[in-house]
Amino acid sequence: MAEMIRAAHPGEVAILDGIAEIASGFDLILCDVWGVLHDGVRAHRAAGEALTRFRALPGPRPRRVVLLSNAPRPGSAVQGLLDGFGVPRTAYDAIVTSGDLTRRLMAERADAPMHHVGPDRDLPLFDGLDLARGGPDEAAHVVVTGLLDDETETAADYRAVLEPWAARGVTLICANPDLVVERGDRLIPCAGAVAALYEEMGGAVVYAGKPYVPVYEAALATAEALDHGAPLPRDRVFAIGDAIRTDVAGARAFGVASLLVARGIHAEELGIAAGAPLGDIAHWLDAQAVHPDAVIDLLRW
């Protein structure tokens, strides 16, 4: 299906008004959450409606939507947040998060002292896990879920904390590979920014979530399990997100088509943060390391 999109727009990335024109060519949408379904404050109503309509399309097998988020929390905790934002449950079948993969990584290291860096709101990540815990000086690995105060801090504020761990060879598990995320009309730093700094300092990082293939494999397996294990060809899978670095790069690495939502974290770069029309983005796209198969300003049907 990605080839069909490219064939209809030779030499350029397709600009879509809505997903209705391509939806019938797919059986599964892997949809980002922050920046696509909501902005961290309220739901994007049209996005929820579009996914609901996709799931209602007829076909030889049910159309599925798996929300694929870099949230450093289990999918069950993210569902509660979505309910609060007003995202309808009719828009999706399941949720897979980087938090879910982080729990697996921690369970594999359960006997070694683990230290957590991040706000208390991320503590549901550890619920039900029997882990050895330790302070910063005795930790064998460190789980970073975010900045303690992401309203005022940046990753640079953590350099002094990270230096001893890098010197000791402590592995950092990054529970959210995003560098920034939308919160209303602001971009807020995420755990990925701390992990990137740690790597610059020579530290070892294990990432859970997009753009890395394991989280896509988990999402695909989740979708197939909904239909008694019936395999889903990757040319019938479509990924939607608002970040080139994670959503588009991850879809490309996994071998599925991608749709970039422009009015997300790249809105200011594209000059549409104040509600201006999308306009010509070819020059901006040319400068990116990877390209989506299509672009839309906001997810809609």
At residue 157, does pLDDT exceed 90? yes
Decide: 103 and 125 in contact? Cβ < 8 Å. yes
Mean pLDDT (whole number) for 263-290: 82
Write down the pTM of the prediction. 0.91
Mean pLDDT (whole number) for 1-12: 53
Task: Name the CA radius of gyration of the chain, rounded.
Answer: 19
Mean pLDDT (whole number) for 120-147: 94
Q: What is the mean pLDDT of the chain?
A: 92
Query: Model confidence at 11, in pLDDT bands (50, 70, 90)?
Result: low
pLDDT at 7: 44
pLDDT in tens, 180-235: 987 877 888 999 999 999 999 999 999 999 999 999 999 999 999 999 999 999 99
Mean pLDDT (whole number) for 134-160: 95
pLDDT at 8: 47
3-state secondary structure of 296: strand
Domain ranges of the chain: 2-98+211-296, 100-207
pLDDT at 282: 85
Query: Model confidence at 13, in pLDDT bands (50, 70, 90)?
Result: confident
At residue 100, does pLDDT exceed 70? yes
Query: Model confidence at 5, in pLDDT bands (50, 70, 90)?
Result: low
pLDDT in tens, 41-68: 899 999 999 999 999 999 999 999 999 9
Orientation of helix 98-108 relative to helix 75-85, angle to 10°: 160
pLDDT in tens, 58-95: 999 999 999 999 999 999 999 999 999 999 999 999 99
**Size of the chain in residues:** 301
At residue 281, does pLDDT exceed 70? yes
Q: How far apart are CA 260 and CA 247, in angstroms?
A: 8
Architecture of domain 100-207: 3-Layer(aba) Sandwich (3.40)
Beta bridge partners of 141: 114, 171
At residue 10, does pLDDT exceed 60? no
Same CATH fold, 100-207 and 2-98+211-296?
Answer: yes
Q: How far apart are CA 82 and CA 75, in angstroms?
A: 10
| DSSP secondary structure letters along 154-207 | -GGGGHHHHHHHHHHTPEEEES---SEEEETTEEEE-HHHHHHHHHHTT-EEEE
At residue 2, does pLDDT exceed 90? no
Architecture of domain 2-98+211-296: 3-Layer(aba) Sandwich (3.40)
Q: How far apart are CA 77 and CA 73, in angstroms?
A: 6
Query: Model confidence at 3, in pLDDT bands (50, 70, 90)?
Result: low
Nearest residue to 37 via CA among 26, 20, 49, 29: 49
